Amino acid sequence: MLEASGRVYAFYRDGFRRMTLGKTLWKIILLKLVVMFAVLKLFFFPNYLNTNFLTDEQRADHVMEQITRQADRNN
């Protein structure tokens, strides 16, 4: 079991070491993930309902309020 894990580890380690173009691609992937999760998600795309309401009940009430507003205008 340990030997198999070691072989898998060596497979990935050597694979990453031997990369040429792959290194550039990994840099782009990592940069992209940092921009997406550490900048966009954190500062620009908070989950509106999770940020503004504490419980699912409050969230459901808010959405119900939003979707039934039109009923008053229809009357």
Tell me which residues in 10-49 interact with another protein (CB under 8 A).
11-12, 14-16, 18, 21-22, 24-26, 28-29, 32-33, 35-36, 40-41, 44-49
SS3 45: coil
- Closest CB 2 distance from another protein, rounded Å: 20
Q: What one-character DSSP code corresponds to residue 51?
A: H
Residues binding another protein: number (CB under 8 A): 42
Q: Which amino acid is at 6?
A: G
On whether the CB atoms of residues 42 and 51 are closer than 8 A, the answer is no
DSSP one-letter code for 62: H
Q: Which residue has the tokens 């940092």?
A: 34
Q: Which residues bind another protein (CB under 8 A)?
A: 11-12, 14-16, 18, 21-22, 24-26, 28-29, 32-33, 35-36, 40-41, 44-50, 56, 59-60, 63-75
